[in-house]
Amino acid sequence: MTNLNQLFTTNQLFLYDQDCLTEKDYFLPFALTDTLTTFSGINQQPIIHFWQLDQVMILGMKDTRVTDLDNGLISLKQDGYNVVVRNAGGLGVISDEGILNVSLILPNPLKKKISIDEAYRFMWSWIKRAFEDSTHAIEAFEITESYCPGTFDLSIDGKKFAGIAQRRVKDGIAVMIYLSVNGDQQKRGESVRRFYQASLHEHFGKNGYPPVNPSVMANLEDLLQRPLTIDEVKKQLIDVLLDDVPVTIDEQMLPKLLTSEWFMSEIDKQMNKMKQRNLLLN
């Protein structure tokens, strides 16, 4: 966590811990990402954002360019999933009450910009510090048959439980991870596989779309071989951060930010962008 420690140029941390959001608020966490990242860059303020969506497939922009999107959407609906198109990352992931999304939002130092790989390594370091032990090494390499595969897929014994993306807005960076904590990961994988089969037909697994194999992914609680709740994961992440980084959580300023005129104007702008982006689904 030494590298992560170097990122915090202030001793105050904002923590935004949201409850699991339902369909009417599906656009909100994505609009918040850009709004909070802009704020972080302007004010040199680190922010952690915990969020969840209930029963939704989050599509990347590449997913919207499949050969038969309508058929893919029908498949997801039959499996009980709603759909939203996000503003980061190229390929889709599932979100439900067993998945925790974490955004580490940081200013990008003017004197020494954080590289893309450095930002990914910061997140990997944080997750390792929180959950790795002598019998469970957390590795980072691409799990090619997972959904949304990437160089910094996090896995234990070759089974992926998390994927990392990032978004850069002006002078801020959001490093975002989804953690499969508990629930039916096999079902998630099967639903994503069916989506790609339905939307790509004979092109399944080709042209940069993953040949999803549900068996290469697992929940963190299964890999650690102990029950694990979302709240326990949040607490562990915050505890190790506060142990290793000389910051305290500022509980006063975040509520003021969320009701400020600047925030209300910016979040409205970002919500409109999300609405425009999701017209692709109509």
> What is d(CA 88, CA 231) in angstroms, rounded to the nearest whole number?
25
Name residues whose C-beta falls within 8 Å of residue 235's C-beta, 6 or more positions apart in sequence. none
- Between strands 12-21 and 248-249, the pairing is parallel
Matching residue, tokens 């994961």: 233
For residue 6, CA distances in Å to 3, 11, 164, 195, 239 come to 5, 12, 20, 42, 18
| Catalytically annotated residue among 36, 148, 169, 230 | 148
Q: Which residues contact 192 (CB under 8 A, 6 or more apart)?
A: 57, 92, 93, 94, 147, 212
Q: What span, in angstroms and rounded, lies between the C-alpha atoms of 134 and 140?
A: 17
Q: Which of 87, 227, 264, 235 is nearest to 166 (CA)?
A: 87
- Between CA 152 and CA 269 the distance in angstroms is 31
Q: Is 20 a catalytic residue?
A: no
Rounded to whole angstroms, the Cα distance separating 174 from 107 reads 9
Tell me how far apart the alpha carbons of residues 75 and 99 are, in angstroms, rounded to a whole number: 21
- DSSP H/E element including 169: strand 159-169
Coil, helix or strand at residue 48: strand
Neighbouring residues of 251: CB distance < 8 A, sequence distance ≥ 6:
none
Residues marked active site are found at 148
